[in-house]
Amino acid sequence: MLSPRAKQCGQPDCRRRFNADRMREWNRAYRKEHGAWYSRKNFGDQQRQQDRVRRAGGEHWRRLYPAAAAAADAKRRALVQQARTDEVFTPSEVHTRDGWTCQLCRLPIDPDVAWPHPESPSVDHVIPLSRGGTHALSNVQSAHLGCNSSKGDKLISEVAEALRSQAQTQ
């Protein structure tokens, strides 16, 4: 072996033997600690227990970093819709750019209103992702959650036509 600290020489047979010995030692330690050999059927229970311990240890990262969580959600949605993600931005950047005004109803948006209230702030895609729009700062605008939900996956021109036709029938 070239290195005095190396535990194996790097040859395939030597590596296999080293890993087998390492796993045997791990299994012995597992049996000593748990009183039974490791089996895959116990893995789910152990994982659930570890998740409970991890969750009890602190606050969820989404509550600690809401802007990062919102950015991650937007990126995930964009990837799910297979839209191009040209840039990374946070919803607060969009709302600040638009002056905290809903671009659909032109009323002010209160930043202190929490989701899922209809007047809570949300980011609307001008050209919806489902219609080939990009998740870019130039394609998003501030909106109330209720306004954004009522717009759905329509273009603004389609929403205006629907409102005009609705006004003419009344």
Q: Is this model's pTM higher than 0.85 or not?
A: no
**φ and ψ at 84, to 5 degrees?**
-70, 135
What pLDDT score was predicted for residue 2?
53
Residue 30: Cβ-neighbour burial (10 angstroms; 0-12, 13-18, 19+): middle
Instruction: Return d(Cα 82, Cα 132) in angstroms, integer.
Output: 8
C-alpha dist (Å) from residue 121 to 72, 78, 101, 113: 17, 19, 9, 7
Q: Which domains does the chain have, with CATH numbers?
A: 12-58 (no CATH), 64-169 (1.10.30)
Judged against a pLDDT cut of 70, whether residue 70 lies above it is answered with yes
